[in-house]
Amino acid sequence: MSDSDPLIVDSSHIRRKASDLRLTARSFDGHHAAFQQEIASHGNPFGADDLGAILTESHQYLFGSVTNCFTSNAQALHGHADRLEELATTYEASERANAARAMRPPSGPPR
């Protein structure tokens, strides 16, 4: 876009992209849930001896880190979709207000 090109904003396009992003976030949520179920289905494969305890603790730490990563990324995707929806709503409200102002007759002499 150059300086002379008009800026064209389409709130319905913004809403579609918010919906696309929300679908991606839901898919991400589904993959995360499947991942958690897969890990849980293995139970404790490390045993009950000292080495098993160390491996279990390490596994739990890593699993927690991965879960936090999944969760925070999914929350971010949902948040971005929410903000896109808010942007579209705010833009539409501004457009309505501008159109209403443009339709009002001028008041008083021109300056």
| Cβ pair 9, 82 in contact under 8 A | no
| C-alpha span between 60 and 37 (Å, rounded) | 14
| Cβ pair 81, 22 in contact under 8 A | yes
Interval 74-105: pLDDT, tens: 999 999 999 999 999 999 999 999 888 888 88
Interval 2-30: pLDDT, tens: 677 888 889 999 999 999 999 999 999 99
